[in-house]
Amino acid sequence: MRVGISLYPEFMDDGVLRSYIGNAAALGYRRVFLSFLLKELRFQGAAGPESPFFDRAIACCHEYGIQVTADVNDQVMDAFGAPEDAVSILAHRGLDVIRADSALPGGILNALARTGLVLELNAADLDPASPDGYSRAVREVERLLSHLPAGQVRGCFNFYPRTGTGLSLSRVRDTSVFLHDYGIPAAAFVSSLSAPPVLHAHGRGVCTVECLRDVPPEIAASALGLCGVDEVLFGDLSASQAELSALSAACADSAVRLPVVYCRDCPQEVRQRLAEHVLTNREDSPEYVLRATATRGLSVEPTRTGPRPRCSVTVDNSRSAQYRGEIQIMLRDMPACEEANVVGFIHPDAWVLLPLLSGHSFRLIPYE
């Protein structure tokens, strides 16, 4: 999964901006999202699309080989003149992708086709899970594809600075699946838990999905990836170095990373063996547990064979005969089992991932 950052250059001095872009580039970030709409939307302190802040940010991104997207709508495009002129001006300023917050007319789409600029549609405007929404989504996507080849079209969900206003995870999943049917990738935003609330003083994180607003970005990204999102971007002004590193590492890993808090008496050998394995839930997924069999053969003596609360992690002990060493993660509270040692629990930050893991690989990573 690809990773990116958002930049609000009007709120950053040039030195901080350059340092932030350089740090992100060193960690593999290759996409930057800018918004030309914030002044029009009355965000305090935001600059208009003509501001030289944006030109300096775009130039800096290109120095580091980073692709730049700008959020526009038909009002912004009209302010730059006729369709050909508007697209030409934005291309000359160095933009690689134009993200259309609202539907753009055919004249602009034709101009984009001639220049090669990528169009990113507002995926949050699509609701393919409802009967009426599905037909509208089909019409809009097919309209775009009548002007542009599929390789020149992408999707990107909105971000929501105001707490409580984000989308549901199911809405993102359904829309991503719909876009993939047309060969169109989807992007979404995750929160930084350390960034100042610049876009909304009373908000908390700038993200796409509401239930992921307070979740560490690397876990939020995993949830989005399991729902079909192909690219994640920080929506906030700035992320910490630790967050940049964690998101980059998680998105580079083909397996979902589940943070585990181990019981103090869990043997070090068991922790090491579990960390070494990429695990996968069985295809005949049980209703009450995630069940991974790659560690079978690991022999542990019976201990902590008490109740198995929801989200606890167990290892089958020597009483379990041919099942010994099997890993299970509880999806509901379960009674004690003399064949299963409780060795720890999935950290609450990652509980959102558990219902999504059927058929996907994962790693058990000691929580730090």
Q: What is the CATH number of the domain that holds 80?
A: 3.20.20.70
Q: What is the share, in percent, of the chain residues with pLDDT greater than 90?
A: 85
- The pLDDT, as a whole number, for residue 356 is 94
pTM of the model as a whole: 0.94
**How sure is the predictor about 109, in pLDDT bands with cuts at 50, 70 and 90?**
very high
Helix ranges (DSSP H) in the chain: 14-26, 52-63, 74-79, 83-92, 106-115, 131-147, 169-181, 217-226, 241-252, 268-276
Domain that holds residue 200: 2-252
Give the model's pLDDT for residue 217: 98
Q: Are residues 243 and 323 in the same domain?
A: no
Q: Identify whether the C-beta of residue 118 lies closer than 8 Å to the C-beta of residue 152.
A: yes
Same domain, 264 and 247: no
Report residue 126's pLDDT band, with 50, 70 and 90 as the boundaries.
Answer: very high
Q: What is the pLDDT of residue 293?
A: 92
246 and 119 housed in the same domain: yes
Last residue of a domain, one of 231, 252, 273: 252
Indicate the residue among 252, 274, 301 that finishes a domain. Answer: 252
pLDDT of 40 higher than 90: no
**pLDDT one-digit tens code per residue, 321-348:** 999 999 999 999 999 999 999 999 999 9
Instruction: State how many domains the chain has.
Output: 2
Residue 182 and residue 200 in one domain: yes
The predicted pLDDT at position 162 comes to: 95
Residues 327 and 182 in one domain: no
pLDDT reported for residue 21: 97
Same domain, residue pair 191 and 292: no
Mean pLDDT of 279-305: 92
Predicted confidence at residue 166, as pLDDT, reads: 97
Cβ atoms of residues 364 and 258 within 8 Å: yes
Shared domain for 186 and 268, answered yes or no, is: no
* Confidence bin at 224 (pLDDT 50/70/90): very high
Same domain, 77 and 117: yes
For residue 273, what pLDDT is reported? 87
Q: Residue 45: which pLDDT band, with cuts at 50, 70 and 90?
A: confident
Is 169 a residue whose pLDDT tops 90? yes
Domain end, chosen from 235, 252, 269, is at 252
280 and 330 together in one domain: yes
Report the CATH number at residue 268. 2.40.100.10
Average pLDDT of the chain is: 95
Measured distance CA(218)–CA(192) in Å, rounded:
10
What's the confidence (pLDDT) of residue 285? 80
| Residue showing tokens 């992320």 | 239
Residue pair 179/142 in contact (Cβ under 8 Å)? The answer is no
SS3 assignment for 325-343: CCEEEECCCECCCCCEEEE
Query: What pLDDT digit, counting tens, does each position of 62-104 carry?
Result: 999 999 999 999 889 999 999 999 999 999 999 999 999 998 9
Selected residue with higher pLDDT from 132 and 174: 174
Please tell me whether residues 108 and 163 are part of one structural domain: yes
